[in-house]
Amino acid sequence: MNKTVVLELCDLKKSFKVATTNEIKIFEKIHLSLKSSELVGIIAPSGTGKTSLLNISGLLDQATGGSVRILGQDTKTMTAEKRNLIRRNHIGFVFQSSNLLNEFNAVENVALSRIIKGYNFHDSLDYSRKLLSKVGLEERLHNRPLELSGGEQQRIAICRAIANDPQLLLADEPTGNLDQENSTLVFDLLVSMVKQKKVSALVATHNLDLIRKMDRVLKLTKTGLVSI
């Protein structure tokens, strides 16, 4: 059975203007087809543009050229409102820093993504409690981010990213700020939840031990993505 293409990048380019005449090319000729339930890793030297690539894929930034299609929809000519709706309804993000909101506790941080999508308030809180309990945080439900370790914060961030039932998950160095033990724990959790929820995931990481757990791995260069 053919799988749905969740994310498609076609001839993607990204560059920046410097002053009025010079242009710095970040990357070009990027082609990618990410199918449903597929876990793809991206490795890249620093400065190659993996964060830019993930931000463009998640409609947080716009490419200089080429197209981004999500669930078959070409986002190039969409209004900002339509792009926001796609982000809200279909995409989850995990960043290197957890980016949790310090004024909310763990349950509230996770529940927010469901509430924003339109789920019932009380049902969202209940769902979030159960999700956090599954990742070993049943004793931390009412703690705020500053009261938690880095590993605990990233576990919450992963729960938040999948709480709104996304079809596409984008993770940018999700274990980059963690020690080896916590990196393995958090990454195994990410892979497990992606597989369990049947989410398509694009994950950038420098950790070669972790990258081996992907369905396939691509190297980002200035002139494209190369299978390794």
Domains of the chain: 5-227 (3.40.50.300)
Q: Look-up: residue for tokens 């669930």? A: 71
Q: Model confidence over 80-115: pLDDT tens digits? A: 999 999 999 999 999 888 899 999 999 999 999 999
Query: What's 30's DSSP letter?
Result: E
Give 103: exposed, middle or buried? Use CB within 10 Å, 0-12, 13-18, 19+: exposed
Please tell me the predicted confidence (pLDDT) of residue 17: 81
Q: Quick one: average pLDDT of 120-143? A: 95
Confidence at residue 1, expressed as pLDDT on a 0 to 100 scale:
55
pLDDT tens, position by position, 21-46: 688 889 999 999 999 999 999 998 77
The percent of residues above 90 in pLDDT, for the chain, comes to 69
CA–CA separation, 50 vs 156, rounded Å?
23
pTM: 0.92
Among candidate residues 3, 95, 8, the one with its CA nearest the CA of residue 51? 95
Confidence band for 217, pLDDT divided at 50, 70 and 90:
very high
pLDDT band at residue 209 using 50, 70 and 90 as cut-offs:
confident
Distance of CA 170 to CAs 5, 93, 110, Å? 15, 5, 17
Summarised one tens digit per residue, pLDDT across range 66-79 is 999 999 999 998 99
